[in-house]
Amino acid sequence: MWLVNCSKKDIECIFFNKIMYYEAYKEQAQRFQKLVNVCIEKDINSGRYWESKWRDLELEEFLNEECRNERIEKQMADAARRAKWRLEWPVTD
């Protein structure tokens, strides 16, 4: 279940009513509860998702990745152009 799709009341309910689990599922249950704690702390829920700072960080990371990809493509094109130029260079003995 995606917690950001839950309403604020749903997340508060999960926060105040700790989940019960079998010992075999202890690690997974604790991760889930930690995520609920983050949702409470950062006020992440279905009504605030698009207004949250997390969305700004996500957008910034996407733009950084796009710039990085463009830079890599440019470097590859430059390397290909240099390699082609070297192949066309006349051989002198």
Q: What pLDDT, on a 0 to 100 scale, did the predictor assign at position 38?
A: 87
- What's the rounded mean pLDDT across residues 11-25? 89
Q: What is the pLDDT of residues 38-47, one digit of tens each?
A: 888 888 777 7
Using the predicted structure, report yes or no on whether residue 32 has a pLDDT greater than 70: yes
H-only helix segments in 1-93: 8-16, 26-42, 53-88
- What's the rounded mean pLDDT across residues 77-84? 86
Q: What is the pLDDT of residues 65-74, one digit of tens each?
A: 888 889 999 9
Q: What pLDDT, on a 0 to 100 scale, did the predictor assign at position 72?
A: 92
Indicate the residue type of 88: E
Distance CA 78, CA 85 (A): 10
Going 30 to 32 to 34 to 36, the CA torsion angle's sign is negative
Lowest mean pLDDT among 6-10, 13-17, 27-31, 87-91: 87-91
Sorted by where each begins, the domain ranges of the chain are 1-49, 52-93
Indicate the burial class of 8 (C-beta count within 10 angstroms; 0-12, 13-18, 19 or more): middle
Indicate the residue type of 28: Q
